[in-house]
Amino acid sequence: MEEEKNKRLDPQEVMERIAAASKPMVAGVEDKDVEYWVTIYIMGRAYKVPADLTILTAMEYAGYKFIRGCGCRQGFCGGCSTVYRKKGEYKLQSGMACQTRVEDGMYLVQIPFVPAEKASYDINKEEYNVSTMFKYYPELARCVSCNTCTKACPQKLEVMDYVQAAIKGDFKAVAELSFDCIQCGLCALRCPAELVQYDIAQLVRRMYGRYGSGKEPEHLLKRIKEIEEGKFNQEMDKITSLTREDLEKLYAEREREPD
């Protein structure tokens, strides 16, 4: 067991495996060309998959077709949350399926949606202070600073710190600490106090943007001006006048990064 663990960490071999796996799997490499295999358990059922796929592509290899819970495939959209445990480990782990490589003996399940009561508000009518937070998210006060949210965050954000900053009304800190949030919802799923951290942070960022930052949204104003001046009209007209077939062809041939 120990030997096998050391063997897996050999950098030369890891590089070879990555090179082997980087052959485009979905584009029809045959199984005989794949050198390394692992067994993963998708919702309890075992599948043998090429060792260097991500969880997302491994599930597709196993025959799953995603119509929900799969968006950008680049780790930005937060759509493909996964929860997994590795064989022989007590820790429940989580990550984005498109960003996490499969490992032998992984038990996993996709979480395509996180139930959350998202507050509805008109940002122009809200007071810029902490009582607005407690009006919409009174459960904020239940935070026990256990830090479970931070451990769950695939973006490695200091989630607990931004929740605490929200409680003390430090909206600048919340906006900065939560800026890279991809709204995957894993924090909210793991929170023992049942907070919905990412929605809380979103309200703060909107309030901070509206009242606190003291900055004009320079790029947005520039883009609005461009739209009003008709910069994109020609391109839009071109697309909207295409036939369905031509549109599909355009989509299939679009510039994209490999999965």
Partner 1 sequence: MKILYYPGCTLKTSAKNFEESAIASAKTMDIELIELTRWNCCGTVFSLTSDDLIHHVAPIRNLIRVQEMNKQGLVKGEFRLVTLCAMCYNTLKRSNLRVKENPEDLEKINNLMYLEEDYEVKVEVIHFLKLLEDMGFEKVNEKVKNPLKNLKIAPYYGCMLLRPKEVGIDDPEDPTIQEELLEKLGAEVINNPFKKVCCGSYQTVQDKNIVVDLSYSILTRAQKEGAEAITTSCPLCAFNLDNRQKEVKEKYPHFKEIPVFYFTQLMSIAFGLDKKYCRFDLNYIDPEPLIKSKGLL
Residues binding partner 1 (CB under 8 A): 129-130, 141, 143-147, 150-151, 160-161, 164, 167-170, 192
All residues at 6 or more sequence positions from 28 whose CB lies less than 8 Å from its CB, including other chains: none
59 or 196: whose CB is closer to partner 1? 196
Cβ proximity to partner 1: between 164 and 183 the closer is: 164
Q: For the CB of residue 83, give the shortest distance to partner 1 in the complex, in Å.
A: 20
* Tokens 């599948």, residue located: 47
DSSP class of residue 138 equals: G
Task: Say how far apart CA 47 and CA 39 lie, in whole Å.
Answer: 5
d(CA 26, CA 100): 17
- The distance of closest approach from Cβ of residue 140 to partner 1 in the complex, given in angstroms and rounded to an integer, is 10
For residues 156 and 219, which CB has a smaller minimum distance to partner 1 in the complex?
A: 156
**Given the complex with partner 1, which of 141 and 247 has the nearer CB atom?**
141
| Count of beta carbons in the 10 Å neighbourhood of residue 236 | 11
Nearest approach in angstroms of CB 187 to partner 1 is: 15
Toward partner 1, which CB reaches closer, 39 or 164?
164
Spatial separation of the C-alpha atoms in residues 159 and 146, rounded to whole Å: 11
Backbone angles phi, psi at 184, to 5 degrees: -75, -25
Angle at alpha carbon of residue 103, lines to 48 and 69, rounded to 5°: 85
- Smallest separation, CB 197 to partner 1 (Å): 14
Q: How far is the CB of 211 from partner 1 (least distance, A)?
A: 16
